[in-house]
A and B are shown apart, each in its own frame.
Chain A
Amino acid sequence: MARPEPVQQVKRRRDLALKTLVDSVPYAGFLGINFERHGDELTAVLPYDEKLIGNPVLPALHGGVIASFLEVTAIIELSWAMLWDEVETGRLTPEAMAANLPRLPKTIDFTVDYLRTGLPRDGYARAQVNRSGRRYASVHVEAWQDNRARLFAQATGHFLMPPRGNG
């Protein structure tokens, strides 16, 4: 039996693949969104920044920032789930990914529920792919700030999957 791949090598490959994916989306960088990874599980982080404010009186995060954060999280999660097997088996290396960026899912519709005011501090989000077929996918996203159980927003979206098979 072959020896298992060294842990550092596994982590390096996964982290590099994730970084390549996230860095390829300019708007995620514009908002300052980054992703933490544990195994295949992703948590999106939106570090607080003054430009993200919508209501300077309260102050509160702009609704558009919240919608954007949720949609970026949904698309990255869906793409990550789509690429995971290929990255794990080595069929897709981070280097090949960077050279030929994967096509991303396209949003068909996206519905955001604003549950609480977005406070002027960091936000977190996790997406769950509820159904992912060859053509269509349905994704649910939850976002919170201080307490995981007290969501400040959630969203459901439908996506058109890119054609796959040639990397």
Chain B
Amino acid sequence: MVGNSPQDFIEALPFARALGMRLEEIGDGKARISMDWDPRFVGDPATGVIHGGAVSALMDTCGGAAVMSYPGALTTATIDLRIDYMRAAKPGQRITAEAECYHVTRRVAFVRATAHDEDSANPVATAAGAFTFDRKEGH
């Protein structure tokens, strides 16, 4: 994902809007974004569980938002993202992702993220990724 400023992050991204993402909190290299369960996002109709791809999209958006909120960030794009799926998200429950940009170099930002449903003690998925990092002048 790619972005220009953290404030209007979600509304400016048509696909984040299509998935109904809500920016809960952002700042200082951290972001929290949530997404409601929706029958259109289901991956396996036998279980009603959300498709992994929708969880990936949430994690990617949240990771990008975390990078954009890191001091001095100008733009970013995902280089790679690995998602580990711990368990199926409960059908009907909202999924919340929390991402942290825990290290940046001159050109690269490193991010880790976790997603959970309404049982916040047991993650649904974790992610680790590298993002491009372009700095504002003077940073």
Contact = CB atoms under 8 A, between A and B. Distances in A.
A114 B25 CA distance: 26
28 contacts: A25-B44, A25-B45, A26-B51, A27-B40, A27-B54, A30-B40, A54-B16, A55-B1, A55-B3, A62-B15, A63-B2, A63-B57, A64-B53, A64-B57, A64-B58, A64-B59, A71-B56, A72-B51, A72-B53, A104-B44, A107-B52, A110-B52, A110-B56, A111-B83, A112-B78, A112-B82, A113-B79, A113-B80
A117 B79 CA distance: 10
B45 A111 contact: no
A75 B45 CA distance: 14
Interface residues of A, number: 42
A111 B15 contact: no
Interface residues of B, number: 42
Interface of A: 24-27, 29-31, 50-58, 60-65, 67-72, 75, 101, 103-104, 106-114, 117
A126 to B, nearest CB: 17
Contacts of B64: 63
Contact of B2 (A25, A27, A60, A75): A60
A71 B52 contact: yes
A65 B80 contact: no
A56 B11 CA distance: 11
Contacts of A67: 53, 56-57, 60, 81, 83
B80 A68 contact: no
Given A62-B1, A108-B85, A54 B56 contact: no
Contacts of A25: 42-45, 51
A160 to B, nearest CB: 9
Contacts of A107: 52, 83, 85
B80 A110 contact: no
Contacts of B45: 24-26, 101
With most chain A CB atoms within 10 A of its CB, the pick from B18, B53, B80 is: B53
Contact of B56 (A68, A75, A104): A68
A109 B12 CA distance: 29
Given A54-B1, A72-B53, A65 B15 contact: yes
